[in-house]
Amino acid sequence: MKSNHSLQTSVIIILAVGLIALALSGFLNPLIKITLSPFIGAQTWISERYRVVQTYLNAPADVALMRQRISELESENARLQVQIVELQNQVSEAQVLASLVAFARAHSENQYIAGQVIGYDPSPFIHYIIINRGSDDGLRRGMPVVTAQGLVGQISALTSAAARVQLITDAKSAVNVHLQQADTDAVLRGQITADIGLEKIPQSANVRAGDLILTSGLGGNFPPNLVIGQVTTVRKLDYELFQTAEVQPAVDFNQLEIVLVIVNFRPVDILPLIPAPGQ
Amino acid sequence: MRPIPFLLAIPVLGFCAVIQSSVISRMPLFNGKADLLLLVVIAWTLYPKVDSAWFWAGVAGFAGMLISALPPGVYLAGYLIAVGLALFLKRYLWKVPLLAMITAVILGCVVIHVISYIVVSLQQGQLLPVNIVINLVLIPGLLLNVLLATPVYALLRDLAGWIYPEEIIDDF
C-alpha cells in the first residue's frame, strides 16, 4: 500500500515536471492556444457588453459635463471676441493719434490739444460736432480745430468739459482761403448738404480742378496755410461778377474721431476796424 | 398727480439726448436724421393714462437745446406743438394707437423741420433751397423717424404701463 502511494506521487511529479518543461520549451503552445481561445472569446464578448452598459449608464453625466464645457467655451469665445473688438478699436485710435502726433510735429509752430468727438448736432440743417474738451483744458471760443488731413472748423461754444465745434461745412461758416496754384483769394462757404464751395473768386483768376485750397489768414479767424481741400469743378460765367467752384474737402467729416484744437491762436476781432456805412 | 412720471422724464430724456447726439446723429440718410426725443415724447403722450405729456415735451425741448446749436426755443416749440398734435390725434385714433403714433411722428417731424428751416433761413438772411431741403432733409428724416416709431412706441408703452398700471375692478 505504502509503495503504491509513493509510486503515484512520483508519477504525478514526473508528469507535472514534464508538462512544465514542455510548456517552457514551447511544444505545448498550439494546445494552449486551442484551449484558451474559447475563454478569450467569451471574455472579450462579456467585456464589450459591459463597456456598452457602462457607457449607457454614464452617458447622462458625460453629456451634462460636455454641455457645461461647451457653454464655458462659448462664453470664453464671446469674451475673447469682445476683447478683439476693443483691441481693434484701440489700434485704430492709436493709428489716428499717431497721425495727429506726426501732424503736430510737422507743424510745431502751433500748440495743440487733442479732443475726442463725442457727438454730432441732431439738427440736419446745421453741422456741428461736440468734443470732450472744454474751458478747463484751456480752450476758448474761436480756436481753430484741425485734423492731420486739414481744417475741421472753429469752436463756437463751450462748457467746462466740452466744446461745440462749427464745421466748415456748416451753412453759416465762412473761411477766407487762398488757392495755391491760381494764387488768388476766395471765400469758402458751407452748404446745407454738407458740401463746401468757393465764392468771390475773381473773374481774372485761372482756377483749375485739382487746385489746392489753404486758409489765407485774412480776417484773423484762422491761421494761414491750413489745408482745406481741392477744387473739383469751376463755374465761370462772363455775366457774373465772380467765379464759383465746388470743393472736395481733405477731411472726411462723417468719420471724425479725434481732432486737434490749436490753442495758441486767438481769432482777431476786426469789426472795430471796419468803418460803419456812411463814415 | 403722481410725481414719478414727472421725475422719470429727466433720466429717460437725458439718456435719449445722449443717444441722439452720439449715435443717431451719426447715421444720417442723405442729410436727414431721426429724432429720438420726438419719438419718445410722442409715444409717451399717446399712452391713454399719461398726464405728464406737456412736461415731457418741455424737458425734451430743454435737452434738445443743450445738444444742438439751433437757437434756444426751436426744439421746445417744436416738441410742444408735436405733443399738442399727438393729444388731438389720441382723441380720434385711440383705437389704433400705432396709426396715431405714425401720424403724429410725421406731423411732428414736419413741424420741427419747418421751424428749423425758418429759423436757419432768418439767421442766414436768405431762404435755403426748398427742393434740397425737401428731397435731402425732410423726406429722409421722415423715413428714418417712421422706421423707428414702432420699436420706440413698444418700449415706451411698456414703460408707461409700468408707471400707470391697469386697475383691476372686481365685480361681484
CB A120 to CB B25 under 8 A? Answer: yes
Please list every residue in chain B whose beta carbon sits closer than 8 Å to the beta carbon of residue A192.
31, 120, 128-129, 132-133, 136-137
Phi, psi of A172, rounded to the nearest 5 degrees: -90, 0
Are residues B52 and A139 in contact, defined by beta-carbon separation less than 8 angstroms?
no
Residues of B in contact with A164 (CB under 8 A): 69
A174 touching chain B per CB within 8 A: no
CB contact under 8 A, A124 and B24: no
Residue A120 three-state SS:
strand
Task: Give contacts of B136 with chain A, Cβ < 8 Å.
Answer: 192-193
List the single best residue of A123, A159, A173 to mutate versus B (max B Cβ within 10 A): A123
Residue among B21, B113, B141 whose CB faces A130 most closely: B21
Instruction: Walk along chain A (279 residues) and give the pLDDT tens digit of each residue.
Output: 667 888 989 999 999 999 889 888 888 888 878 887 888 888 888 888 888 888 888 777 778 889 999 999 999 999 999 999 989 989 988 988 888 888 888 887 788 999 999 999 999 999 999 999 999 999 999 999 999 999 999 999 999 999 999 999 999 999 999 998 989 999 999 988 889 999 999 999 899 999 999 999 888 889 999 999 999 999 998 888 999 999 999 999 988 999 999 998 888 877 777 777 765
Task: Tabulate helix, strand, coil % of chain A (nearest 5).
Answer: 40, 25, 35
Work out the minimum CA distance from A124 to partner chain B, whole angstroms: 6
What residues contact residue B166 under an 8 Å CB cut-off, 6+ apart?
none
Distance in angstroms (rounded) separating the CA atoms of residues B78 and B113: 9
Q: Are A143 and A157 in contact (CB under 8 A)?
A: no
Dihedral sign computed on CA atoms, order A81, A82, A83, A89: positive
**Do residues A245 and A235 touch, judged by C-beta distance below 8 A?**
yes
Distance from CA of A115 to the nearest CA of B (A): 15
Distance CA A126, CA B120 (A): 8
Rounded distance, CA A225 to CA A217, Å? 8
Distances (CA, A) of B24 to A169, B66, B111: 19, 16, 20
Q: How many CB pairs under 8 A join A and B?
A: 78
Contacts A126 to B, Cβ<8 Å: 68-70, 120
User: What's the pLDDT tens digit per position in A94-134?
Assistant: 988 888 888 888 887 788 999 999 999 999 999 999 999 99
Contact A121 B25 (CB under 8 A): yes
Nearest to B132 among A156, A172, A193 (CB): A193
The angle subtended at Cα B66 by Cα B51 and Cα B124, nearest 5°, is 115
Note whether B69 contacts A122, CB cutoff 8 Å. Answer: no
A10, three cell numbers: 512520483
Q: How far apart are CA A139 and CA A130, in angstroms?
A: 13
Residues whose CB falls within 8 Å of the CB of residue B147, separated by 6 or more in sequence, listed in order: B34
| Residues in contact with A276: Cβ distance below 8 Å, sequence separation at least 6, in sequence order | none
Quick check: A171 contacting B, CB < 8 Å? yes
On chain A, the residues whose CB falls within 8 A of the CB of B18 are 119
Residues in chain B: 172
Nearest Cα to Cα of residue B53 among B20, B92, B89, B25: B89
Kindly determine whether residue A172 and residue B123, on different chains, have CB atoms separated by under 8 Å.
yes
CA distance A213 to A228: 6
Tell me what pLDDT residue B44 has: 94
C-alpha A2/C-alpha B163 separation (Å) is 113
Chain B partners of A155 at a C-beta cutoff of 8 Å?
Answer: none
> Which chain B residue shows the shortest CA-CA distance from A132?
B22
Residues 6+ apart with CB under 8 A from A213: A177, A178, A179, A180, A186, A188, A198, A227, A228, A229, A230, A231, A247
Q: What is the pTM of this model?
A: 0.76
Pairwise CB contact (< 8 Å): B68 & A124: no
Q: Do B69 and A156 touch (CB under 8 A)?
A: yes
Question: Is there a contact between A120 and B21 if contact means CB atoms under 8 Å apart?
Answer: yes
Tell me the per-residue pLDDT of A137-161, one tens digit each, with 9 for 90 and over.
Answer: 999 999 999 999 999 999 999 999 9
Query: Given the C-alpha cell 439718456, which residue does it identify?
Result: B15
